[in-house]
Amino acid sequence: MPPEVYILVLGAFLAAFVVGAAGFGDALAAAAVWLHVFEPSVAAPLIVMTGLTIHVIALARLYKELDFKFLVPFLGLGALGVPIGTWLLSQIAAEPFRLAVGALLFLYGAGLLAMRNPPVLKAGGKFLDAIAGGIGGVLGGLAGMSGAIPAVWCGLRGWPKQQARGVAQPYILAMHILSLASMAWAGLVTWETATRFLWGLPAIIVGTVIGIALYRRLNEQLFRRLVLAMLAVSGLTLVI
């Protein structure tokens, strides 16, 4: 069996596990493994296809446990933000931007982990929820990070895990669908992409199931700390 297959399986399992447990983080987990062996143009559609599948499986298993009442405002501007972010790729230097976002995510996640009573933002209502969704969409188109901002925002709102995940999970799924359609239109999704995806599919299923089992064992405090740790690690990964 080629070494590439082992790398594929490892990346697929890690991406599925972190999404199963926390509801986001698939792109960064997979990229941290796959970009060591694949060019970005090869890895990107595979990451999106894998993430889309993971979120479909997770939502199917958790649908009755999640609360989606805060989701709609995020989706509207999020969908508009993706093409804006893609356009910005040709207008600004992406690497310094990723480093800055990574540093902010690390400081946010690590800083709030150190607080016993983190701040809760009640003001702004659906308007600010929509703005957060739009920013997430822009970051998704620009740097493949659509899930980070909704995760941060849900934490600032102080929403319980059923509501936080009821926003982040379907939001990321919608952004993945838009991204995959855009990549397919650009000719980046090939038979080789599909073949590699199928090699990783068993690991996707197993990793998602194990991650969801962990999620169901977490109380609100442990879930919050897991999300903050994921944000800090995601930021550190971008910086490194």
Report residue 26's pLDDT band, with 50, 70 and 90 as the boundaries.
Answer: confident
* Confidence at 201, pLDDT banded by 50, 70, 90: very high
Instruction: Please name which of 59, 71, 76, 78 lies closest in space to residue 167, comparing C-alpha atoms.
Output: 71
Decide: 184 and 85 in contact? Cβ < 8 Å. Answer: no
Confidence of residue 207 (pLDDT cuts 50, 70, 90): very high
CA distance 43 to 195: 13
For the chain, give the percent of residues with pLDDT over 90: 17
Name 42's Cβ contacts closer than 8 Å, sequence gap at least 6: 192, 193
C-alpha closest to that of 152 among 173, 126, 121, 114: 121
Mean pLDDT, the chain, as a whole number? 84
Give me the half-sphere count of Cα atoms (radius 13 Å) on the Cβ side of residue 108. 21
Structure confidence at residue 205 (pLDDT) = 95
pLDDT at 144 > cutoff 70: no
Name which residue leads in pLDDT, 81 or 120.
Answer: 81
Q: Are 57 and 205 in contact (CB under 8 A)?
A: yes
| Segment 146-193, tens digit of pLDDT | 887 888 888 888 888 888 889 988 998 988 888 888 778 878 788 988
Q: What is the mean pLDDT of residues 120-139?
A: 85
Structure tokens at 51: 């993430």
**What was the pLDDT predicted at 199?**
92
Domain ranges (residues) in the chain: 3-239
Cα 63 to Cα 118: distance, rounded to the nearest angstrom: 28
> What's the confidence (pLDDT) of residue 108?
79
Beta strands per DSSP E along 128-236: none
Question: pLDDT tens, 103-121?
Answer: 877 887 887 777 777 777 7
The amino acid sitting at 140 is G
Across residues 219-232, what is the average pLDDT?
82
Closest CA to 170 of 49, 69, 35, 33: 69
